[in-house]
Amino acid sequence: MDYVYELEHVSKIYKNDGKEFEALKDVSLSVEEGEIFGIIGMSGAGKSTLVRTLNRLEEISEGKVLFYGQDLAELKPRELRNVRHSISMIFQGFNLLQQRTVIENVEQPLRIAGMKKDERRQIARQMLRVVGLEEKENVYPARLSGGQRQRVAIARALTADPKVLLCDEATSALDPKMTGEILELLKKINEERKLTIVIITHEMSVVEKICDRVAIIDEGRLAEVGDVRTVFSNPQSNAAKKLVFPAIAANPFDPSDPDGRLIRIVFDGLTASEPFIANLVEQTGKKVNILSANTKSVGGIGYGQMILELPKEKEDQEIIIDFFEKSGLLISEVR
């Protein structure tokens, strides 16, 4: 396995007026070459600090950040500059130069690198074709939509032919339609250019849509890491559960009876056509109360989930759970 990044027991401590704040606490994880890796957490969890350690914009306090086996902390300034040429970054705020046209914005990194105008313009036009904005090359950013501005930022990031693209809340300023379009574009770039992408977000829907694996950061610690479908289907940590079904975290359900139980069942697109609840009633005579239900796409596969209240009799509860397990559903307790 080729690892782009390996983080080993990374901690980051900020010091201010004699006080210390630990933004990252003993984080260890790896990012595989060619994957889309999500880093998700609530606001203030430490995820943006974490992504800035990946190109050494933040110096870590303890541990190691390895980039293709190189310890970033040990690189000399010139070596670090060379590594950073392999790591591009896009942000929530686009960071475009308002007094320059689209193509001039895309050319900017090549201009700074001293590339001749004809050569850099050719590369810039190629990148604008990649993001579908070749007809906008002479337009100024103020006349573009938010989604188009982010496409320009992505084109600019691609001009250096990077090995890694870091996306720090890159879709947070966009509406749902534009968010979907940008995520589809990133997925396409990942597939066609074999580009490793690391996405920082606070939205589980972003991770579910395009990420292969996800790390969940909670108060500076790594709460959980794994395949996105596995984490969605069977979250282990409290932080993951809050992200997977936030409505339950915000408004917890209580059983109508003190002896009642709540369960979550998860089914994928292969089993979604089965009338589980109707089959339950028909085959066992037992009934459940549906408190919540929704469907979504996770990694391109349709998933559904329900929160069910079971009857208060223990025997009935076991019959229902046994039925769902034999039907191939994933089941977890909701507390």
Rounded Cα–Cα distance for residues 196 and 31 (Å): 8
- pLDDT at residue 299, as a whole number: 65
| Domain co-membership, 223 together with 294 | no
| Domain co-membership, 224 together with 135 | yes
| Domain co-membership, 170 together with 267 | no
- pLDDT at residue 53, as a whole number: 93
Is 63 a domain residue?
A: no
Instruction: Out of 4-13, 156-165, 247-256, 326-335, pick the least confident.
Output: 247-256
| Domain co-membership, 97 together with 237 | yes
- pLDDT at residue 125, as a whole number: 93
| Domain co-membership, 47 together with 122 | yes
Q: Flag whether pLDDT at 267 surpasses 80.
A: no
Is residue 301 very low, low, confident or very high in pLDDT (cuts 50, 70, 90)?
Answer: low
Q: Flag whether pLDDT at 214 surpasses 90.
A: yes
Rounded Cα–Cα distance for residues 312 and 329 (Å): 21
Is 285 a domain residue?
A: yes
CATH number at residue 259: 3.30.70.260
| Domain co-membership, 48 together with 187 | yes
- pLDDT at residue 79, as a whole number: 92
Q: Which of 244, 276, 301 is the last residue of a domain?
A: 244
**Helix 314-326 with 276-284: angle, nearest 10 deg:** 130
Is 28 a domain residue?
A: no
Residue 211's nearest CA partner among 192, 234, 190 is: 190
CATH number at residue 134: 3.40.50.300
- pLDDT at residue 235, as a whole number: 83
pLDDT above 70 covers a percentage of the chain that reads 91
Which tokens go with 32? 């595989």
Highest mean pLDDT (candidates 40-54, 229-243, 254-268): 40-54
> How do residues 127-186 score in pLDDT, each as one tens digit?
999 999 999 989 999 999 888 999 999 999 999 899 999 998 888 878 888 888 899 999
Q: Give the chain's mean pLDDT.
A: 87
| Domain co-membership, 40 together with 145 | yes
Number of domains in the chain: 2
pLDDT above 90 covers a percentage of the chain that reads 44
- pLDDT at residue 255, as a whole number: 67
Is 66 a domain residue?
A: no
Is 65 a domain residue?
A: no
Phi, psi of 152 (to 5 degrees): -60, -45
Instruction: Out of 72-76, 177-181, 253-257, pick the least confident.
Output: 253-257
| Domain co-membership, 162 together with 186 | yes
Residue 243's nearest CA partner among 47, 111, 52, 92 is: 47
- pLDDT at residue 250, as a whole number: 46
> What is the domain extent for residue 287?
246-333
Rounded Cα–Cα distance for residues 184 and 249 (Å): 29
- pLDDT at residue 300, as a whole number: 66
| Domain co-membership, 205 together with 250 | no
Instruction: Out of 118-127, 166-175, 246-255, pick the least confident.
Output: 246-255
Q: Which of 217, 244, 271 is the last residue of a domain?
A: 244
Instruction: Out of 1-5, 240-244, 308-312, pick the least confident.
Output: 240-244
Q: Which of 229, 244, 259 is the last residue of a domain?
A: 244
Q: Flag whether pLDDT at 278 surpasses 60.
A: yes
Q: Flag whether pLDDT at 8 surpasses 60.
A: yes
| Domain co-membership, 211 together with 300 | no
| Domain co-membership, 217 together with 326 | no
Instruction: Out of 2-6, 162-166, 197-201, 275-279, pick the least confident.
Output: 275-279
Question: Which positions ≥6 away from 161 have C-beta within 8 Å?
Answer: none
> How do residues 14-71 score in pLDDT, each as one tens digit?
988 878 889 999 999 999 999 999 999 887 888 889 999 999 999 999 999 999 999 9
- pLDDT at residue 248, as a whole number: 53
Rounded to 10 degrees, what is the CA torsion of 255, 257, 260, 264?
A: -20
| Domain co-membership, 106 together with 159 | yes
Is 64 a domain residue?
A: no
